[in-house]
Amino acid sequence: MTFAFVSGSAALDFVGTVQNRRDDALDLLTTPADLTDWSVASGALDSPASATRADLTTALHLREAIYRLVVASTNGSLLPPEDCAVVNRAAGRNPVRCELLPDGTVVRHGTIGAVLSTLARDAVELITLTPEQVKECAAPRCTRLYVDRSHRGSRRWCDMARCGNRAKAALYRSRHA
């Protein structure tokens, strides 16, 4: 399974595990093993913590709640109370533990529940501190949300190497057809 980490936020990268939400949605988290793999690939944990079917169900509910909350906050809408409750419940658990080693490296360890708590806390910070910087990719089929930290706030694509390059290539082809 290949995951992309281009959103500028762990919570948004987690939301991005559903691709093409509007058309032919592709869910990258369909098994507990996928969730385990994502937790390590994302850098949330340094070594895998085995996810259960219950962890996956909780994770999927959290992911969709985060998505709806972020969309509502960027639209200036009221935040759905049931989604706030899902995020608050996850954020209330113990987060991933970070341990600083004498050589300056950091080791991250915990359970899948700790990963979900860390993601929920990241979502709360994102929703309350920088909702105006959250955008959706301008590529026609891409629905990935990302944090635009560009100097002018003019970033258009979630990932220049993927969506941005495709858009520029399509524009080039249309101009030279």
Q: What is the pLDDT of residues 114-128, one digit of tens each?
A: 999 999 999 999 999
Does the global pTM surpass 0.85?
yes
Span 133-139, average pLDDT: 90
Model pLDDT, residue 141: 82
State how far the Cα of 76 lies from the Cα of 148, in Å rounded to an integer: 17
Which band of pLDDT confidence, cut at 50, 70 and 90, is reported for residue 157? confident
Average pLDDT over residues 142-150: 91
Q: What is the pLDDT of residue 169?
A: 60
Q: Is the pLDDT of residue 172 over 60?
A: no
Contact assessment for residue 145 and residue 12, using Cβ atoms and an 8 Å cutoff: yes
Which pLDDT does position 104 carry in this prediction? 97
Q: Where are the domains of the chain?
A: 10-131
Least confident of 50-54, 96-100, 133-137: 133-137
| Nearest C-alpha neighbor of 8 from the set 115, 114, 161, 135 | 135
Angle at alpha carbon of residue 172, lines to 168 and 173, rounded to 5°: 120
In contact, 13 and 2? CB cutoff 8 Å: no
The predicted pLDDT at position 162 comes to 76
Q: Say how far apart CA 47 and CA 37 lie, in whole Å.
A: 10
| pLDDT for the residue numbered 46 | 96
Q: What CATH architecture applies to the domain 10-131?
A: Orthogonal Bundle (1.10)
Token code pair at residue 139: 């590529």
Torsion of CA 17, 22, 26, 27, to 10 degrees: 40
Strand partners, 58: none
Q: Which residues contact 127 (CB under 8 A, 6 or more apart)?
A: 69, 70, 73, 79
